[in-house]
Amino acid sequence: MLVTDIKRKLKNGKEITGFYMDRWLKDNIDGIPSFIKKDWDCVGIVSGHGKVRIGKSTMGMQVSYYLAWRLAGGEITSDEKGKILKVILPKKKVHFNLHENVVFSAESLQETAARLYDKYGKNQVILYDEGRQGLDSARAMESINKGMEDFFQECGFMGHIIIICLPNFFKLHEDYAVARSLFLIDVFADKEYNRGFFNFYNDRRKESLYYFGKKRIGVTAKYSATKENFWGRFYGWMPFNKEEYETKKKEEIEKKRILRRERNLMLQRDIHIYLLNKHAKYTYQEIMQKMKEVADFTIAEKTLRNSVVRVSDIISKTKGYV
């Protein structure tokens, strides 16, 4: 059925109102605005059956926009066959756009959530579309789970709706895959490699899928561990320009690479300072003098002390030895 009152043009140039959403999917997420108004936060997960470029971002954007439309006061009622009986238009502006509501890393979640809270108040929608394709790196998943932990500790009271898009549901930490999330939508292609299909798992079946699927080997076996509540179709409409979206995604991924490289270089510097101070027994004044002699570079004593403290903290947390 067609949902929302957004205007869009078909390929033949005809203008229509709304975009297609499976009726069962619509009915299962319609209650979320009421749920978060009771001082809960909401996490929904959209996975890609372990694959990339399969449509999870498109599904995530459609669900996010529809929920933002509902939060603005929009409502659609229909009969059992999906025939629309009544449409109530939003009373407020729909707050969901590419530049304010879409992030590509867990590290950006906290900043975006706080900014939306300050500007619009509680109960906003954020689409977190994880840009690291594949997520085979244990370090990447550790970063995602740490970012989620920080977000809920600092921003849980804001009551936002977070839609997480990532290739593999089973690589998400149990706390967010099971305890924090309300539903899972897994998108997949048919046997002819046609995109646009999804399975929906509610809170209870999602939990069963996670626990039983984790014990199996292979993506197909994992996603077959529990039967879905229902399956459906979706199509390629996006609430904003696809090229602009892809450009922003590439820019954000590149920013993360640069920041990661800078952090690594900073850590290397801190370790060298730590070794000079703790093992070579150089004083801070001597380290400052050596830097001046070798590279004509001046660094403050406070910075040297902070470097030693940071490395000491890392050692104490990992119980390692440097």
Give me the pLDDT at residue 322, please. 45
Q: Write the pLDDT tens digit of every residue in 39-67.
A: 887 899 999 988 888 999 999 999 999 99
Helix, strand, coil share of the chain (percent; to 5):
50, 20, 30
What type of residue sits at position 300? A
pTM of the model: 0.80
Q: How far apart are CA 300 and CA 305, in angstroms?
A: 9
117: closest CA among 150, 160, 149?
Answer: 160
Give me the pLDDT at residue 321, please. 47
What ranges make up the beta strands (E) of the chain?
2-9, 15-20, 42-47, 75-78, 84-88, 102-103, 125-129, 161-166, 181-188, 197-201, 230-233
| Cβ-Cβ contacts under 8 Å for 263 (sequence gap 6 or more) | none
Give me the pLDDT at residue 131, please. 63
Q: How far apart are CA 72 and CA 6, in angstroms?
A: 13
Question: Which residues in the chain show pLDDT less than 50?
Answer: 134, 321-322
Give me the pLDDT at residue 275, please. 92
Q: How far apart are CA 263 and CA 246, in angstroms?
A: 26
